[in-house]
Amino acid sequence: MKKLKKILKTSLLVVPIALLSACSSENAKYQNLATGEKVYIIKDAKTGASIDSLTNEPVMFYVDLNTKDTISGSTGLVVNNKIVKSEDGTYALITTDEGMSYEGDVKIKVDGDEIKIKTDDKKIKIDGDEKKVKYDN
C-alpha cells in the first residue's frame, strides 16, 4: 500500500510537468513579429484572419520559423520586404496610393486601429476587436 501511494504521488508530480512541457511554445512553428513570442497560428472561422490559438488574439504579422518568411496575418500572404517598423514598435505594410497596399489582387488599407482588406470576392474590416466580412455576389 505504501508503494502504491508513493507511485501515485510521483505520478501526480510528473504528469503535470510532462503536460506543460508538451504544450510549450518552444515547439511552435511561428513567431509573432510584434511580441517576439512563438505562437500556434489558426485561422478565424469568420474572418479568415490569423489568430494565436492559445490566446485567441489576432496576429498582424508572423514569421514562419522553417522558411523564415514573414506572413500577413490578415491575408496569409508572404510580405517579405514589404513591411516597416514604426517608432512605436508596431509593424505595417509599406503602402502606396494614399494608404493602400497591394498584394497581388488584394488591397489593404491600414488607418490607425482600422484595417480594411479588399479581394475580388470579399471585403474585411477590422476595427479594434470588431470584425466585419462582406461577400460580393
Considering 20-24, 55-59, 78-82, 93-97, the range whose residues carry the highest mean pLDDT is: 55-59
pLDDT at 108 over 80: no
In contact, 30 and 19? CB cutoff 8 Å: no
Phi-psi map region of 2: left, alpha, beta (phi>0 left; psi -120 to 50 alpha) = alpha
Tell me the pTM.
0.53
Q: Rounded to an integer, what distance in angstroms lies between the CA atom of residue 81 and that of residue 128?
A: 26
Which residue, 116, 135, 132, 131, is CA-closest to 75?
Answer: 116
Ranking 7-21, 29-43, 117-131 by mean pLDDT, the lowest is 7-21
